[in-house]
Structure 1
Amino acid sequence: MTSSLDVRPGERGPAAAMTLAVALVLLAYYFLKPARDSLFLAQASPAQLPLAFVVSALVAAPVAGLHARLARRWPLPRVTVLTLALLAATLPPLRLLLETDLPGVPYLLYAWAGLVG
């Protein structure tokens, strides 16, 4: 199978690590997306979903620009690990914010989950 994928000797370890990383990110997103949707709809109405999409785009645009800038300066594996670590580190505070009745929290959760996916 490695010959059909053009994986050369010495590349198997990094290829396996990248495959595992992608699989874990996708798995996390597949768990996160339904939770995001249900938590958003429990705290906000379906009529507010278009605004959530706009907020997500407004958050994603500068974050994507920053990510691209970092990827030009640092090796991509370092940027990937930093990004995943930052997303993981922001999850516990976000979870605590969900316990509050602050009005912007559903939008923050929606935008954060959009960054993951």
Structure 2
Amino acid sequence: MKQWFEAKLDHLAQKSDTAKALRYVLRHWDGLTLYLEDGRIEMDTNAVERAMRPIKLNAKSALFAGCDEGAENWALLASLIETCKLNGVSAEHWLSDVLTKLVNGWPAARLDELLPWASTYTMHALDPRLAA
């Protein structure tokens, strides 16, 4: 499909909406097809968008983050917390563990081991009432 898009792009007016759309797809091709390589990744973002909706409703809070960098940090933290929720991980315990490991010199080559879906801090492991 990628080769077909590339071939069609050569025959379109470069300023056309279709050409712009094809260039966008080709520019993001690796990200758009990542779900084919990793079974944990959903084909669409509906689950993430639903999980983020409550945060979106609270987006006005980000306006008072103080600066663009503060708003970006707020968005990053909100995304990590929602990722924990989607993976059944206690965000509080996960974040505490990850920050401790990073401060103590966790190797950069092993950062993928710290991602929420690799965490052992599942809600069920922390609260026996949830294990039922």
Higher relative contact order (CA 8 A, sep 6+): 1
Question: Is the TM-score greater than 0.5?
Answer: no
Q: TM-score, normalised by structure 2?
A: 0.29
Q: Which has the larger radius of gyration?
A: 2
Higher-helix-fraction structure? 1
Q: TM-score, normalised by structure 1?
A: 0.32
